[in-house]
């Protein structure tokens, strides 16, 4: 029997919003207790003022401009921190201030090259942008970099500034964002730091982009969620010529498209030729295998993971049992319970199977008015969350169904969402699309994971918060989840690296992010784990100094394409007239100089696989790296040579990794890691060998 997960849709929220009330409570000095807030090492920056930084944090926590009255002591000589009198509520607020950028290391104290960062242009191919948002205010920004060749063609009543230095629209009268998606991704990548941002009090703190000093060029290719391929191609054409440095594109189809027919694959290939790295969302069709839609080896494909903050919602059933699920719910029912109705009991014209999944057009609005609708999940968590539903686990779903069947008068109360700390949340979420790469199984996709759950960022004030037609709320900042939110995190991390290494190629930047990624907790809903998170979770500060990088050129990519495509199809992608090698000279995709290593073998058959790789030294001129294998007992792995000695920067060394075993059962896999270590740098690459299952 198929397992389902329940969705709860509150059809009473319009009433509940009207009945919300704010309860104020005077805070006496007796409610305050002394707490020490440790902020780590002092940054190596003469302009940094520890006291100003501490007062700024304190003001946000106590929500008062007289916050200094609560300061007991400032620690500012040898390290950064302070002691203050705080309430329990303020301590909780302080604990929940950690945003996605803080979580991955790009915080207020992070080392930055502000002048160079201001010259970086992030191209956002999406649904447009809302230029009046504070996240895109240009106060303090100088004019656009001299290299910039773009224009502001945003349409009527659309004005660019020194933050949004370029805007174009395709098949639309305006580049203005009426959906919210484009504003959200743009501000996640490069939005200004906006204090006090929240979604109805949830996730309150500072909303900021990963490279807040960078410029933004917006390319609107989508009109009401329809994104024509010809518009996407035009956007890449313009963005490359305009002079963007990084492209983030959180769009994609529902299945893999051959490279020579995919506008994103072709456009991003030409971006790579011009030294521009493209970050692309993996897709939201997980956790099934083979659902990742971004599989081009020249693109940074990004999966979505949680952070150490999780936004939950509780449902109190009429029998007193409390269920916990995932939802961003801004209202409170003030203790009032509402009747529960199952989807199959709320239709007059659909089959039970369709109605219990609440398929479009099945639910009779009169039968659910003033009630809480219970649906079986059919389209995955991400669709449910976009519709404003509360998603329950299978265990809680069974408890809910049991309660529904036990009484004719089932009721429940959905509480307001709350943010909790969850160190175990560093996993790839279920909706994030998984590998394998259905076009090139020798290239592991996704490449990397980044925060993509409950991300607070700018939103279009004219856009609907959810897909529900009854939702009339409008906000300037919203919480969204998806690989669309993870992608601009990775793009900003790439832009951050570029500010320190402007001479690095797209491949070098991508390699630095992959080989320094955090190892992640294995999810229990997919195997192998590399198909969920690739090389691991993004770690941009460490990626500034990766030690070694795996370089690939345009010719390397063409040679790779030639290994499985004919000359005509390769030309459609590259635009070049080069001829592909013939016969044994074609080469193998497994020898493409990628930062991860993968191969497919026949089931239950002995095998020996050789991976040939080359690394470039970008760390210390005189350095020696030793190979270490984090093994899998199902295979043996050998590295030759085991030691790489470098005498200068940019020197290259070649090595071979050999994996051999007596065979793997059909559909099984073996995974390991290769780590090159010089005492300072850890250059890690996943190794994955998978037997070819019958379904492939």
Instruction: Tell me the catalytic residues.
Output: 126, 181, 484
d(CA 410, CA 623): 69
Element (H, E) at 573: helix 567-574
Give the ranges where 294-378 is alpha helix by DSSP (H).
352-356, 365-368
Q: In what order do the strands lie in the sheet with 246-249?
A: 164-169, 215-220, 121-126, 246-249, 277-281, 299-305, 448-451
Contact 658/609 with Cβ under 8 angstroms?
Answer: yes
- DSSP E strands in 405-444: the ranges are 411-414, 418-421
d(CA 157, CA 135): 19
**What is the DSSP-derived secondary structure letter of residue 242?**
H
Contact 150/160 with Cβ under 8 angstroms?
Answer: no
* Residue among 314, 302, 311, 247 at smallest CA distance from 274: 247
- 611: Cβ contacts below 8 Å, ≥ 6 apart: 590, 591, 597, 599, 656, 657, 658, 659, 687
Element (H, E) at 184: helix 181-190
d(CA 674, CA 637): 9
d(CA 486, CA 521): 18
33 burial class (0-12, 13-18, 19+ CB within 10 angstroms)?
exposed
Q: At 261, phi and psi to the nearest 5?
A: -120, 5
Q: How many CB atoms lie within 10 A of CB 5?
A: 20
Do β-strands 81-86 and 33-38 pair in parallel, antiparallel, or remain unpaired? antiparallel
Q: Could you give the angle at which helices 263-273 and 554-562 cross, rounded to 10 degrees? A: 140
d(CA 675, CA 626): 8
Alpha carbon of residue 684 to chain centroid = 21
* Residue 636: strand pairing partners: 660
Taken as a whole, the chain contains a residue count of 696
**What is the DSSP-derived secondary structure letter of residue 136?**
G
The number of C-alpha atoms within 13 Å of 401 and in the hemisphere containing its C-beta is 17
Q: Which residue has the tokens 């502000």?
A: 114
């Amino acid at each position: 029997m198929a397992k389902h997960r329940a969705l709860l849709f509150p059809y009473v929220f319009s009433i509940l919003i009207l009945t919300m009330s704010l309860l104020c409570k005077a805070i006496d000095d007796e409610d305050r207790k002394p707490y020490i807030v440790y902020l780590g090492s002092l940054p190596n920056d003469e302009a940094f003022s520890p006291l100003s930084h501490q007062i700024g944090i304190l003001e946000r926590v106590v929500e008062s401009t007289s916050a200094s009255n609560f300061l007991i002591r400032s620690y500012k000589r040898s390290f950064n921190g302070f002691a203050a009198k705080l309430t329990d509520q303020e301590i909780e607020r302080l604990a929940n201030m950690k945003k996605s950028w803080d979580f991955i290391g790009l915080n207020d104290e992070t080392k930055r090259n502000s002048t160079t960062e201001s010259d970086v242009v992030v191209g956002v191919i999406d649904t447009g942008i809302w230029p009046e948002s504070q996240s895109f205010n240009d106060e303090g920004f100088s004019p656009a970099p001299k290299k910039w060749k773009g224009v502001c063609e945003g349409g009527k009543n659309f004005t660019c500034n020194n933050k949004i230095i370029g805007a174009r629209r395709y098949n639309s009268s305006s580049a203005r964002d009426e959906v919210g998606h484009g504003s959200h991704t743009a501000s996640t990548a490069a939005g200004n730091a906006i204090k006090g941002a929240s979604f109805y009090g949830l996730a309150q703190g500072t909303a900021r982009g990963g490279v807040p000093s960078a410029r933004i060029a917006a390319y609107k290719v989508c009109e009401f969620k329809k994104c024509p391929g010809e518009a996407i191609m035009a956007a890449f054409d313009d963005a490359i010529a305009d002079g963007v440095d990084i492209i983030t594109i959180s769009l994609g189809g529902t299945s893999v498209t051959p490279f020579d027919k995919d506008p994103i694959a072709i456009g991003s290939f030409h971006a790579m030729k011009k030294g521009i790295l493209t970050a692309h969302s993996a897709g939201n069709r997980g956790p099934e295998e083979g659902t990742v839609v971004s599989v081009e080896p020249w693109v940074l494909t990004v999966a979505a993971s949680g952070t150490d903050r999780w936004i939950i919602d509780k449902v109190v059933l009429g029998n007193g049992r409390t269920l916990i699920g995932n939802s961003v719910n801004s209202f409170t029912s003030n203790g009032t319970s509402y009747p529960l109705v199952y989807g199959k009991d709320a239709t007059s014209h659909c089959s039970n199977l369709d109605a219990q999944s609440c398929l479009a057009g099945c639910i009779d609005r009169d039968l659910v008015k003033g009630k809480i609708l219970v649906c079986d999940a059919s389209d995955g968590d991400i669709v449910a969350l976009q519709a404003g539903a509360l998603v329950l686990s299978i265990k809680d779903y069974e408890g809910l169904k049991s309660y529904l069947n036990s009484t004719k008068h089932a009721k429940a109360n959905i509480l307001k969402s709350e943010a909790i700390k969850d160190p175990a949340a560093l996993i790839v979420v279920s909706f994030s699309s998984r590998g394998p790469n259905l076009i090139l199984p020798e290239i592991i996709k996704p490449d990397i994971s980044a925060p993509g759950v409950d991300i607070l960022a700018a939103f279009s004030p004219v856009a609907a918060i959810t897909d529900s037609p009854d939702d009339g709320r409008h906000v300037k900042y919203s919480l969204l989840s998806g690989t669309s939110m993870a992608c601009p995190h990775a793009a900003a991390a790439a832009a951050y690296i570029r500010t320190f290494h402007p001479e690095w190629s797209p491949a070098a930047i991508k390699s630095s992010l992959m080989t320094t990624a955090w190892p992640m907790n294995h999810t229990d809903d997919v195997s192998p784990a590399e198909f969920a998170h690739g090389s691991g979770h993004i770690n941009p500060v460490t990626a500034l100094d990766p030690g070694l990088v795996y370089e690939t050129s345009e010719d390397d990519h063409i040679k790779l394409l030639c290994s499985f495509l004919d000359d005509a199809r390769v030309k459609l992608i590259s635009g070049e007239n080069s001829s592909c090698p013939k016969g044994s000279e074609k080469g193998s995709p497994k020898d493409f100089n990628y930062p991860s290593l993968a191969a497919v073998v026949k089931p239950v058959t002995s095998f020996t696989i050789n991976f040939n790789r080359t690394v470039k030294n970008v760390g210390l001129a005189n350095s020696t790296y030793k190979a270490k294998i984090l093994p899998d007992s199902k295979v043996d792995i050998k590295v030759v040579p085991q030691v790489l000695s470098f005498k200068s920067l940019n020197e290259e060394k070649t090595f071979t990794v050999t994996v051999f075993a007596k065979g793997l059962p059909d559909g099984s896999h073996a995974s390991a890691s290769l780590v090159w270590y010089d005492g300072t740098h850890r250059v890690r690459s996943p190794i994955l060998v998978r037997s070819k299952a019958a379904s492939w």
